[in-house]
Amino acid sequence: MKAAVLKSFGSPLAIEDVPDPVLGTGEVIVDVVATRVLSYSKEVFSGERKYALDLPAVPGAGGVGRVRAIGPDSTKLSVGDWVLCDPTVRSRDDAIAPDIHLQGVSSRGEGGMRLQKYFHDGSFAQRMRVPTENVTRLGEISEEEATQWCALGTLLVPYGGFLAAKLQPGETVLVSGATGNFGSAAVAVALAMGAACVVAPGRNEKMLAELVRRHGARVRPVKLTGNENDDRELMKRAAAGPIDCAFDIMPPSVSTTVVRAAIMTVRSNGRIVLMGGVNMQGGPGLELPYNWIMRECITIHGVWMYPPDAAVRLIALVRAGLLRLDHFETTSFDLDHANEAVDYAAANAGAFNMTVIKP
């Protein structure tokens, strides 16, 4: 089969023939129809992000495709089913604290690296092998629709954060990083889950206005000034009432003062979700006042990805019409032009943009 292979950090992807994946028990082979290109893929492939990726490897974070082969432990899947492939591979021998490997992207710790040795290759290929539990049926879709359904991979990330914080209908949410790719997805997910109001701070006034245009008056935009205390007060005043949950998904390049200004807007007994990149590439960590956390009874959730059943729940929100995939504007490339797709994704990394490879 044809695949895009990253042979060394800093080198272009090599488009070449590689062996077909071999099916084992507890696994599924999927014909990849469409896979999104992460906006920061270029930083990963160059080595800038220093991700734990054992090379050479076929990169690519999950995707949408059709089942080609199933193992003996599959009882619901059938060959030909349209499915979403979740890249979050978990070890099966510790249900409480599993090791995690993001297939085709990176790993966490020694256990994650051991997982990567087996579930090594990602979705920049005509076929991929994934654990059975990482395949979720989508129902009937067309090949053209497969591109749009790739947006689930982006939407699942903030959805996992809001599930951890137990977001309730009618609550007020603040999304720190709302004008970015994952942040704008977080705005859409919070509204789909029933948030009464989403405070959306940012410096890009055009994109803030676009959030309001797409989602309506439940989005409350805030133009940031760069002054931590002033910005905190502006965000509080923009909310319809006390802010119940503050969600951060800022990239590594953002100052910790910007993040702190946003997340310290939460009310007493409020919740904070941290899913961003603060301190990922060195520099100061996020400093929060101990007394404020303690006296205000603040709950802080550090969240990496999402629980195993999140895809089923999110698909149900889409099927119910509560979450729209057409907010994403997609640009597609074939596998032979994977390097161009990576460059395009990096140059068009903003809100509502999605770059897709169709192997």
Answer whether 67's CB lies under 8 Å from 78's CB.
yes
User: Is 84 a member of any domain?
Assistant: yes
d(CA 181, CA 191): 16
Cα separation, 274 vs 277, in Å, equals: 9
19 located within any domain: yes
* 23/130 same-domain check: yes
Q: Is residue 318 part of a domain?
A: no
pLDDT of residue 251: 87
Same domain, 121 and 53: yes
Compute the average pLDDT of residues 238-264: 93
Asked whether residue 284 is domain-assigned, the answer is yes
Q: Are residues 289 and 160 in the same domain?
A: yes
Residues 258 and 273 in one domain: yes
216 and 290 fall within a common domain? yes
89: domain CATH number is 3.90.180.10
Q: For the chain, what is the mean pLDDT?
A: 95
CATH, residue 208 = 3.40.50.720
Give which of 134, 146, 177 is closest to 36, Cα–Cα. 146
Judge if 127 and 265 occupy the same domain.
no
8 A C-beta contact, residue 355 and residue 330: yes
Owning domain of residue 178: 156-302
265 inside domain? yes
Dump pLDDT digits (tens) for 20-34.
Answer: 999 999 999 999 999
Residue 163 lies in a domain: yes
Neighbours of 89 (CB within 10 A): 23
Q: How confident is the model at residue 279 (pLDDT cuts 50, 70, 90)?
A: confident
Residue-wise pLDDT tens digits, 180-211: 999 999 999 999 999 999 999 999 999 999 99
Say if residue 182 is in the same domain as residue 146.
no
Q: Are residues 32 and 113 in the same domain?
A: yes
Are 220 and 250 members of one domain?
yes
Other C-beta atoms within 10 Å of 279: how many? Answer: 12
* Percent of the chain whose pLDDT exceeds 70: 100
Is the pLDDT reported for residue 278 higher than 90? no
Does 315 reside within a domain? no
Domain count, the chain: 2
Q: For the stretch 127-141, what's the b/e string if a residue is b when 16 or more beta carbons lie within 10 angstroms of its beta carbon?
A: bbbbbbbbbbbbeee
Same domain assignment for residues 33 and 76: yes
Comparing 62 with 252, which gets the higher pLDDT?
Answer: 62
